[in-house]
Amino acid sequence: MAELVQRYLDDLVAEYAGVSDGALADYIPELTQVDPSGFGLTLSSSDGFLYESGDARTEFTIQSISKPFTYALALDQVGEDAVDAKIGVEPSGEAFNEISVDDKTKTPKNPMINAGAIASVALVPAAGPDERFAKIRDFYSACASRPLEFDEDVYRSEKATGSRNRAIAYMLDSFGVLADDPDEVLDVYFRQCSLRVTSADLARMGATLARGGVNPQTGRRVTSTRVVQRTLSVMVTCGMYNAAGDWVSAVGMPAKSGVGGGIVAVLPGQLGIGVYSPLLDGRGNSVRGVLVCRSLSERLGLHFLTVGRESRSTIRAIHEPVERVRVYELHGDLMFAGAERVARIVDREADEFDVAIVDVTRIDTINDAARALLAGMSADLGAGGKRGFVVDPDRIVIRPDRGYDDVVFGTVDDAVVSAQRVLRANPIG
């Protein structure tokens, strides 16, 4: 049931709560003022349902997680050719704040390092810095489903100490990459980095990318699938500072981290994940954020190179052969996201039945996460005074040695007969 997913998240947060490795970013002095123990995790399904755990509503500055979103906005507004003329898409292998451009093109190597991010800001068409910032903020807010606020203190702190970014902006200006005044562009960049988000916002923003540019909560299309595809591509190759290779191998989701302690991760078509924990490792990524994402990916089978064929409509049919007995026929491939959707629908309809029969006869492939969710449903329904049966002739969900023999049936008819027996023994009301 939905609580099972919730429990997954709560258990993960509890598991890593004691990890206190890492350090707060200190090159922006104001960032040393945050509570180092903050720890929030949010997962958004592709239809916008949120699971939140820990400090999921604690605000922190978005910092570099802003980069893919401003890049997406620039692509959306001026198109790929104009963006590609100013920003490359190659991983740089250099520090995020390296004062460098590509040897040949004299443009930033990619939009996830500061040089590329500052160039992205300048590409957003606007009459002046205020309008440009308003457009950027509106775009992020449309992805997050709420108006994002701005952190004046962090902004001032970064502006007062941002010599390195100033050097980058002036270098870009000297190569003709910025069409506008470098100080004005930089000011907007500092402002965008100082927008405040929560892990829930990041999960929603991630889910908007997961849905190809449609915010699942508001139903609004904020950009095109083409823009999202390009944005996710650079997140895969360059999103995690110099740990992009490790990240893709171990976690396998397009992602972006920021020195404020946030990470957004996206499983295309399926999920958006937001994590917050401000203690950073040597590469600038949140220590607990990386641990949590690794575990989520492993335990729920989320690596994007293994989760191939998730059927969009996992539930083939729902019917009620006898009163208060509801049959859910599943089909296709069942991975975590599909099983989560089934669990949630059964959960939502639980008032309308006494026995739920989940028929997995037509499932082609199932993974451990989906198996655990479906098996757990039966126990959870029992705890809520209902019964949950599984029609599983090949025992793909509940293996024969698990001691659930009384809830597993070979055919729907057998399950219905048993359900009627249960109802006769315990008449409703």
Q: Supply φ then ψ for residue 302, to 5 degrees.
A: -100, 0
Among 46, 107, 114, 145, interactor with ligand GLU by CB under 6 A: 114
Could you tell me the smallest distance in angstroms from the CB atom of residue 208 to ligand GLU? 20
* 110 near ligand GLU (CB under 6 A): no
Catalytic residue among 66, 67, 124, 290: 67
Q: Give catalytic status of residue 67 as yes or no.
A: yes
Q: Which of 185, 188, 234, 259 is flagged as catalytic?
A: 259
The Cα 175–Cα 168 span in angstroms is 11
Q: DSSP label at 23? A: B
Minimum gap (Å) between residue 76 Cβ and ligand GLU: 22
Query: Considering the complex, what minimum distance in angstroms separates the CB of residue 361 from ligand GLU?
Result: 49
- For the chain, what is the total number of helices (H) and then of strands (E)? 15, 12
Toward ligand GLU, which CB reaches closer, 25 or 325? 25
Integer Cα distance of 235 and 215 in angstroms = 19
Using rule CB under 6 A, residue 97 touches ligand GLU: yes
Among 291, 273, 300, 285, CA closest to 16:
291
3-state secondary structure of 45: strand
386 catalytic, yes or no? no
Question: Containing H/E element for 342?
Answer: helix 336-348
| Residue 193 within binding range of ligand GLU, rule CB under 6 A | yes
Which residue, 63 or 367, is less far from ligand GLU as judged by CB? 63
64 in contact with ligand GLU (CB under 6 A): yes
Q: Is 258 in the site for ligand GLU (CB under 6 A)?
A: yes
| Rounded Cα gap, residues 298 and 285, in angstroms | 19
CA distance 358 to 331: 11
**Residue 276 near ligand GLU by CB under 6 A:** no
Conformation bin of residue 90: beta by default, left when phi > 0, alpha when psi is -120 to 50: beta
Query: Catalytic site residue 276?
Result: no
Establish whether 100 is a catalytic residue.
Answer: no
Name, in order, each residue with C-beta under 8 angstroms of 57's C-beta and a sequence gap of 6 or more: 40, 198, 200
Q: Do strands 271-276 and 355-366 pair parallel, antiparallel, or not at all (unpaired)?
A: unpaired
Two structure tokens written together for 144: 């997050």
DSSP letters for 232-277: HHHHHHHTTGGGHHHHHHHT-S-EEE-TTSEEEEEETTTEEEEEE-
Q: Which residue, 58 or 64, is less far from ligand GLU as judged by CB?
A: 64
Rounded to whole angstroms, how far apart are CA atoms 135 and 130? 9
| 189, 276, 328, 404: the active-site residue | 189
193 or 291, CB closer to ligand GLU?
193
Residues 147-186 that bind ligand GLU (CB under 6 A): 158, 165
Residue nearer to ligand GLU on the CB measure, 166 or 294: 166
Region 347-366 residues binding ligand GLU, contact defined as CB under 6 A = none
Residue 92 binds ligand GLU (CB under 6 A): no
Q: Residue 204 or residue 256: which is nearer to ligand GLU going by CB?
A: 256
**Least Å from the CB of residue 168 to ligand GLU:** 9
CB of 96 to ligand GLU, least distance (A): 5
Q: Is 343 in the site for ligand GLU (CB under 6 A)?
A: no
| Catalytic residue ranges | 64, 67, 189, 241, 259
User: Contact residues for ligand GLU (CB under 6 A)?
Assistant: 63-64, 96-97, 114, 158, 165, 193, 258-259, 284
